[in-house]
Amino acid sequence: MCGITATFSYHPDAPPVDQGELTRVRDAMERRGPDDAGLWIPEHKRVGLAHRRLAIIDLSEQGAQPMATPNGRLRTVFNGKLYNYRELRARLQAQGHAFCSESDTEVLLHAYREYG
């Protein structure tokens, strides 16, 4: 089972996301995801996403997280499984969505773009 963590500096006076702290929290979950580790903090440093990966569905680098839509507008870290992701993927492809991976996480991102 993967491990996910996030931090959000909500208040305008809150300090920016601390990359070192986020990395330490992520790495404390190494047993949950020994296959890879990912981290994303945007330039404004108001939010940070981190992920420990247990690669099961898509073992390639394209399945790594945090994952973003092609335009970078949406990002996610996801711990779970979409059991019907193949059917959802086919439906989204028929609606014009192009995929870069075989990951159910990417299906989640495209479904959110399409359906909200």
2 is catalytic: yes
β-pair partners for 4: 51
Active-site choice (1, 2, 9, 42): 2
Burial level of 107, CB count in 10 A (0-12/13-18/19+)?
A: buried
- CA end-to-end distance (rounded Å), the chain: 26
DSSP string, 39-105: EE--TT-SEEEEEEE--SS--SGGG-SSEE-TTSS-EE---S--TTHHHHHHHHHHTT---SSS-HH
Q: Which residues are catalytic?
A: 2
